[in-house]
Amino acid sequence: MGEHTRTGQVVGVNGNMVGVEFAQSVMQNEVVYVRVGGEHLKSEVIRVRGKRAELQVFEDTSGIQIGNTVEFTGQLLSVELGPGLLGQIFDGLQNPLPQLARQHGFFLKRGAYLKALDDKQEWEFTTAVRVGEKVRAGDKLGTVPEKIFQHRIMVPFALHGEFEVTEIAPNGKYTIQTTIAKLKDASGKVQEVKMAQNWPVKVAIKAYAQKLKPTQPLVTKLRIIDTLVPVAIGGTFCTPGPFGAGKTVLQHLLSRHAEVDIVIVVACGERAGEVVEILEEFPHLVDPRTGKTLMERTIIICNTSSMPVAARESSVYTGVTLAEYYRQMGLNVLLLADSTSRWAQAMREMSGRLEEIPGEEAFPAYLESRIANFYERAGLVKLRDGGTGSVTIGGAVSPAGGNFEEPVTQATLKVVGAFHGLSRDRANARKYPSIDPLDSWSKYTSFIEPEHVRKGAAILKKSNNVNQMMKVVGEEGVSIQEFIDYLKGDFFDAVYLQQNAFDKTDEATAADRQKHVYRLMAEIIDLEFQFENKDAARRFFQQLRQSFVNWNSAAFQSEDFKRKEQNIRHQISNGKI
C-alpha cells in the first residue's frame, strides 16, 4: 500500500474529537480526512495509543458514524507560502474566505477547502542567482513584486545542506506552479523549486544566521505604550483585560499605526463583527508611510468564535508561520493575536475530551509550554545575507472574570517582554487607551530618555497615593504640596497617556512629536508651583489641560502647533514660583 492510501476506521465520536483504529502506521500531528457522506473533514492526529488514534476535527462532527473511513495523508498541518498572501483574508486553515463565499455563499460549508494562493496569477520574476552558485535554505533565488514589497523567492526552508544552482529561470512572468530553479545537493540529487512552498505551521522557520536581542523600540504611536511600557522590534507583549476594557480597539489601533512593514491580524475565537470592521475599513485607510491602503500590508486570519474550535489553534500557528515567512525577506512583521485565551480554551476542551489529568482551572498541564513556544517564535534575526528581519508578537488575553491571576494570563506574563494590563476602571472612566500605567511593565527601553520616563512613572505613583489618601481624609486632609503632586499626575495621565481615537491628529503620535511633547511634560513635572489654595491649583491645571488637549489636536510643527505651545509655556510661567 502506498503512502497516500493508509486508511482507518472511526471507532468513537465525542464532540470534535474522533477516535480511529488503523492497521499500519500513523504520525503524530499528521493531517487526516474523515469521510462523511461526500464530505472530507480535515483533522489532525493528537494522540496515538496502540492501534487507536485520537483526532481533533477542524469541522463540525455531526453525522459521523462508527465505521466511517479516514484517510491519513502523511503530511503535517501546513500552509502554502509564496507571493499573493498579502491583503488576503484566510480562515484558520488558510482557506481564503472571500473565495469560499463566492463558491458556497453565505455559510461556511463543511469540508470545503480552497488553495491559499492563486496558481493562475503570473508574477514578474527577477533572477538573483546564477547557475553554479551555492545556496542554502532561505537564500534568495529571485524576487517578484508583491504590493509594495519585493517578495523574495527563496530556497525552500525544508531543504537541508548546501545546494548548487543547476538551472534558474530567466527574468519573466511565471505562475507559482512553474519550476523556477533546479538545485543539486552534494550527492547529486536534483530538487525542483517553485515559487510557492509548504511549511508545517507548528514548526518554527529557522533559516537565518542568528537570533538577536531585540533592543530597538517599535513605534506604535500610542504614547502610553511608547513612553512608559514600550515594545521592541522582535519583542513580545500581551494585553490582558476584562471584556469592555478595549482590547480589540487597542489591537486595531496598533494594526493601523504601528511602524512595521507587515501586520498579520489573527482573530482567534472572537467576534466576527470586529473582523468585518477591519475588512471594511482597511481598504479605505491610507498608510502614511507608503501612501497605499492599509490592506496592502495586512493579512487577516479569521477564525471567529462560532467557527470550528480546533481551528483556533491552527489559526494562531498559521499567523505566526506567515509572519516568519515575511521575516525571511528582511521585513519587520507585527503579529496581533486576539485572543490567545480562546486558543487556550480550545486546548482545554480537547484536553478534557482526551481525559488528561487537568491542571489549574482544567487547563492542560502543557498550557504554559505551548504558550511559551508560541511567543518564542517572535524575534529579531540576522539573515544569512547580513540583513535583519523580525516578528513581533502581541497577544490579547481575555482572563475569566477579569482576574489576572488565572492560568493563561500568568503563563503569558512569564514569557513576554511587556505587559499592558487593561483596567475596567479606566475604561469605565472613558480613559483610553485603558492600559493601567501603574500595573503595566516593560523590559524594553523607550526612545525617550530613561530618567525622564522614570520621572513620569514616579509622579503617577505619587499622584495615585495622594488620591487614595484623599478618599479617606478628604481633600482638606492633604497638604497643598501633596495636592499639586496629585494634580500633576492626573494632568500627565489626562493629556499625555490618554489619546482620543476619534481625533485624526491625536489618534497617533509619531516618535519625534512624542519626544518633543514629553520634554515639556518632564519640565512641568519638575516645576515647583505655588498657589494660593487648592482651588487655584485645580483651576490652573484645568486650564493647562484644556490648552494641552487643544495642542494635541494641532498638526506637528504647524503654525497652530507652535502658537499653542507658546501659549502653554506662557501659562506655565504664570503658575510657577
Partner 1 sequence: MQKIHSQILQISGDVIVVEAQDVSYRELAQVHAPAGISLAQVIRLDGKRVSLQVLAGSRGISTDDKVRFLKRPMRISYSEDLLGRVFNGSGLPRDNGPVLTDNMIDIGGPSVNPSKRIVPKNMIRTGIPMIDVFNSLVVSQKLPIFSVAGEPYNELLARIAMQAEVDLIILGGMGLKYDDYLFFRDTLEKQGSLSRSILFIHTASDPTVECLLVPDMCLAAAEQFALGGKRVLVLLTDMTNFSDALKEVAITMEQIPSNRGYPGDLYSQLAARYEKAVDFSDAGSITILAVTTMPGDDVTHPIPDNTGYITEGQFYLRGGRIEPFGSLSRLKQQVNDKTRSDHRAIMDRMIQLFADYRSTLEKRSMGFQMSAWDEKLLKYGNRFEEELMELSVNIPLEEALDRGWQILADIFEPAETGIKDVLVKQYWPAKAEAK
Query: DSSP code of 169?
Result: P
Please report whether residue 226 would count as binding partner 1 according to CB under 8 A: no
Q: Residue 84 or 330: which CB sits closer to partner 1?
A: 84
Which residues, 329 to 368, sit near partner 1 by CB under 8 A?
A: 342, 345-346, 348-349, 352, 355, 358, 361-363
C-alpha cell at 185: 545537493
Q: Does 38 bind partner 1 (CB under 8 A)?
A: no
In the complex with partner 1, which residue's Cβ is closer, 427 or 484?
A: 427
d(CA 70, CA 78): 19
- Among 474, 532, 559, 577, which residue sits at the site for partner 1 (rule: CB under 8 A)? 474
Spatial separation of the C-alpha atoms in residues 212 and 270, rounded to whole Å: 33
Closer to partner 1 by CB, 88 or 446: give it.
88
User: For partner 1, which residue of 8, 19, 389, 433 counts as binding (CB under 8 A)?
Assistant: 19
Please tell me the distance from the alpha carbon of residue 405 to that of residue 403, in angstroms, as a whole number. 5
Q: How far is it, in rounded angstroms, from Cα 284 to Cα 316? A: 26
DSSP conformational letter for 289: T
Contact flag: residue 273 with partner 1 (CB under 8 A): yes
Nearest to 343 by CA among 56, 19, 47: 56
Could you tell me how many residues of this chain bind partner 1 (CB under 8 A)?
66
Of positions 177, 369, 403, 558, contacts partner 1 by CB under 8 A: 403
- Per-residue contact flags (x/-) with partner 1 for residues 485 to 524, judged by CB under 8 A: ----------------------------------------
462 exposure class (CB count in 10 Å sphere: 0-12, 13-18, 19+): middle
Backbone angle region of 402, left / alpha / beta, with phi > 0 → left and psi within -120 to 50 → alpha: left
Q: Which part of the chain contacts partner 1 (CB under 8 A), choosing from 14-22, 127-135, 221-229, 523-531?
A: 14-22
SS (H, E, C) 180-232: EEEEEECCCCEEEEECCEEEECCCCCCCCCEEECCCCEECCCCHHHHHHCCEE
Pick one of 145, 244, 283, 288: the residue that binds partner 1 (CB under 8 A): 244
Question: In the set 23, 276, 285, 365, which binds partner 1 (CB under 8 A)?
Answer: 276
- Our CB check for partner 1 shows the closer of 192 and 535 to be 535
Residues 6+ apart with CB under 8 A from 299: 85, 86, 87, 88, 90, 262, 263, 264, 265, 319, 322
Bridge partners of residue 34, in order along the sequence: 41, 70
Binding mask 110-129 for partner 1 (x = CB under 8 A): x-------------------
The verdict on 284 binding partner 1 (CB under 8 A) reads: no
- From candidates 304, 315, 340, 446, binder to partner 1 by CB under 8 A: 304
Residues that bind partner 1 (CB under 8 A): 10-15, 19, 60-67, 89, 97-98, 100-101, 104-110, 242-244, 269-273, 275-277, 279-280, 302, 304-307, 309, 342, 345-346, 348-349, 352, 355, 358, 361-363, 398, 400-403, 428-430, 474
